[in-house]
Structure 1
Amino acid sequence: MFPAADEYDIDVSVDEAAVDVLLSVTPRDVAAPDELTFSRNVFLPLTTACRYTCGYCTYYDVPGEATLMEPEAIRSVLQTGADAGCTEALFTFGDKPDDRYTAIHDQLDSWGYDSIVDYLYAACEMAIEEGLLPHSNPGDLTQSEFRQLREVNSSMGVMLETTADVDAHAGTRRKTPGQRLNTIRAAGREGVPFTTGLLVGIGESWRDRAESLLAIAEFHERYGHIQEVIVQNVVPNERSSFDQPSVETMRRVVAMARVALPQSVSVQVPPNLSPTRELIGCGVDDLGGVSPVTDDYINPDYAWPALDELREIAADSGLDLYERLPVYDHYLPESIRREEVDPAGRPPESAGGEADGWLSRRIEGALTEQSAAGQGYRRVAGRESPLTTPQ
């Protein structure tokens, strides 16, 4: 049992033998991937308000300074992303900001929204109208909130970071492992294709890292909803006093992740933050969401690499680079998986009933939009050929 897990009635056990296995893993114990993937996204920081005050985070602004994207601005950014060939609309904001920030709550109320979750729903609908697939990272959510947002998201996510109770989360408004584990479980219960991960270097031990990976693996075994796990190193910034972990530390953690997780779960590192070339041979098979038009608002000092640089990273490792949707192929409804999408980018009618329908309609819109732009389904819907020529 992990710290604060009792508060949420979370039953996640720690297998001591499995911990020992992970602690013995080295990069030599894993194989390099067969290919590398990434998602082309447009990044929308819905608000910079957050109820937490984590010591390493530069994203949140204090009350009185936080911003809230206006609907017109959201629409404009989405259109720019669609014009640039993006398939993913990445929505992110701090946890329950309208609970702490009176101005944010009042602004949402004046626009006719009861909460930031309701506003996110409307923003996701805008993305769908523009032919983009929403992927939302709204922090800790309840199961009912996942049920609501699942209707307008192809996938969602939240970083576990660590199951340890670390000083980096200290303060009067602290983030606890129990809250994050509860969120991951709630997403699983609602069948939401999900991204989570570790933040390495915030005061956790090697055992903490092993236990965090095993907790993620146990939730996936239970619910089958984890599509990728990010192994992200903390980076220096104006608020953080943490040292960036060494390359050898990251190589070992990535290898541990690859051993802890089933092969169907991708291991991802963010290429603007990590020593990516040195990590691919340790089991990394995905480079996450990369935007050609917007900044990484979570880590504004670290620019996204250009697509040509991603190709070079892949080529240096002898791998092909493929673009994927924000939701992985094996989570797609059977009716629109890549082998069933025709070259014009038109998926067949969904035959899977209501469960498939909500996602089918949204992916159909994105594929149709990309096809109309002359980009075809080679990039959008599958791995028919790698990205070997400039887009």
Structure 2
Amino acid sequence: MGQARADESCGSSPPTSSTFTPHRVVTYSRAHTLVPTYECFNRCTYCNFRTDPGQSPWVSLDQVARQMPLLHQQGVCEVLVLSGEVAPHSPRRADWLRHIYQICELALGAGLLPHTNAGPLSRDEMAQLQQVNVSMGLMVEQVTPSLLETVHRHAPSKRPEIRLQQLEWAGELGIPFTTGLLLGLGESEADWVDSLRAIATLHTRYGHIQEVILQPHSPGQQQLQRGTALDETALVQAVQLAKAHLPKNVAIQIPPNLVSREGLLACLEAGATDLGGLSPVDEVNPDYDHPTPESLRAAIAPAGWQLQPRLPIYPQYDTWLPSPLQPLVHTWRASQRGSRSESVPSEYPN
């Protein structure tokens, strides 16, 4: 099993609440990750997610439809549609995109809010999925081309210019967007700054970046090449750099299952504001279970932090949505204002 999680004690006692201003807020989304397919034409050396094409079946729409009422009952608000990538020129690409679209429709029909991250898409593909998603995402990872000679040698869609183009198209289309950096792949701190500045430039132009994830490399059992976990001190430094280089209205997100409790608190003090979508399984890092919201509250409350649920779309972007999606988001907003918990709204309005 991986390093200590944020809900586990690492020896030293956390600062007492008397040291801090009480009720500082950190957010999260109660999510369920739904994987249309694990197959992927990239072969990143650190990946613990992918399978070769043909090795794992695509999830059926019947399976998805059966899951949705259970998620609704559990108070899930976000369905994170996280897919392996079918090659852009594959004859199966159109079927793959249609399958993702239909999964998002099923989520909406159950009163849930889809957020899709399916790798780089064409502008037309993004415009299609925009109609059935409240937000979308794609990690920049790093803008340095040097990783194409190492960990991304066999990963055609990890070219920095392809990923930055996706962020630009998202801005042009008015899609609320999540992106981020993967840290500890062999890049330098200067590369972190370049990546953050590239994201900041696009957000300054379009205003569409909701949050930036700072994801530390965390070795797993399935990856092709063993590596070392990013030191937590370096992660705190990355948070400080993000706070310095990103616009103030962009949230900084830390995955709480990839840091110790002390590391998480240090990241919050450095400027992290969000803990992402919490679901039972982290599909990208399956060796590291997500903590529950309850255990996270217990971990951060002594330091004066209040854990607060959010939706997968930030409030300032509600009016960006296609009009058929807005009533459902408004219903979720009302439920959270009323209880500050994940009360389940009525089903998707027709």
Q: TM-score range by the shorter chain?
A: 0.7 to 0.9
Structure 2 residue 123 is the aligned partner of structure 1 residue 138: no
Matches of 1:125 and 1:64 in 2, distance apart? Answer: 25
Q: What residue identity is the alignment partner of 1:287?
A: L
Assess if the C-alpha contact under 8 Å between 2:22 and 2:304 holds in 1. Answer: no
Q: What SS class does the counterpart of residue 196 from structure 1 fall into?
A: strand
Matches of 2:57 and 2:302 in 1, distance apart? Answer: 41
| Cα 1:172/1:48, change in 2 over 3 Å | closer
Matches of 2:180 and 2:269 in 1, distance apart? Answer: 19
Q: What SS class does the counterpart of residue 308 from structure 2 fall into?
A: strand
Structure 2 residue 155 is the aligned partner of structure 1 residue 155: no
Residue 169 (structure 1) aligns with:
152
Residue 359 (structure 1) aligns with:
325
| Cα 1:47/1:252, change in 2 over 3 Å | same
Q: 2:265 aligns with which of 277, 294, 297?
A: 277
Matches of 1:47 and 1:265 in 2, distance apart? Answer: 30
Q: Relative contact order (alpha carbons < 8 A, sep ≥ 6): 1 or 2 greater? A: 2
User: Deviations for 1:218-261, whole angstroms, at most 9, x for unmatched residues?
Assistant: 00001110000000100111314221111110110011001111
Q: 1:236 aligns with which of 219, 230, 250?
A: 219
Report deviation, 1:356.
5.5
Q: What residue identity is the alignment partner of 1:248?
A: T
Residue 63 (structure 2) aligns with:
73
Matches of 1:311 and 1:183 in 2, distance apart? Answer: 35
Residue 307 (structure 2) aligns with:
321
| Cα 1:376/1:98, change in 2 over 3 Å | farther
TM-score with structure 1 setting the length: 0.75
Q: What residue identity is the alignment partner of 1:135?
A: H
Assess if the C-alpha contact under 8 Å between 1:37 and 1:324 holds in 2. Answer: yes
Q: 2:275 aligns with which of 249, 262, 287?
A: 287
Q: What residue identity is the alignment partner of 1:297?
A: E
Structure 2 residue 172 is the aligned partner of structure 1 residue 189: yes
Assess if the C-alpha contact under 8 Å between 1:78 and 1:89 holds in 2. Answer: no
| Cα 1:225/1:253, change in 2 over 3 Å | same
User: Deviations for 1:309-343, whole angstroms, at most 9, x for unmatched residues?
Assistant: 11023313211111000001111229xxxxxxxxx
Structure 2 residue 293 is the aligned partner of structure 1 residue 310: no
Residue 378 (structure 1) aligns with:
340
Q: What residue identity is the alignment partner of 1:197?
A: G
User: Deviations for 1:158-194, whole angstroms, at most 9, x for unmatched residues?
Assistant: 0000001211111274621111111111111111000
Report deviation, 1:144.
1.3
Matches of 2:174 and 2:156 in 1, distance apart? Answer: 29
Q: What residue identity is the alignment partner of 2:218?
A: V
Matches of 2:338 and 2:57 in 1, distance apart? Answer: 37
Residue 240 (structure 2) aligns with:
255
Assess if the C-alpha contact under 8 Å between 1:202 and 1:234 holds in 2. Answer: yes
Greater shift in the superposed pair: 190-199 or 256-265: 256-265
Count, aligned residues: 315
Report deviation, 1:58.
1.4
- Return 5+ residue gaps in structure 2 as ranges: 1-20, 344-350
| Cα 1:356/1:32, change in 2 over 3 Å | farther
User: Deviations for 1:81-132, whole angstroms, at most 9, x for unmatched residues?
Assistant: 11100110110112235855x8xx3xx9xxxxx4211111111110011110
Identity %: 35
Q: What SS class does the counterpart of residue 332 from structure 1 fall into?
A: helix
TM-score with structure 2 setting the length: 0.84
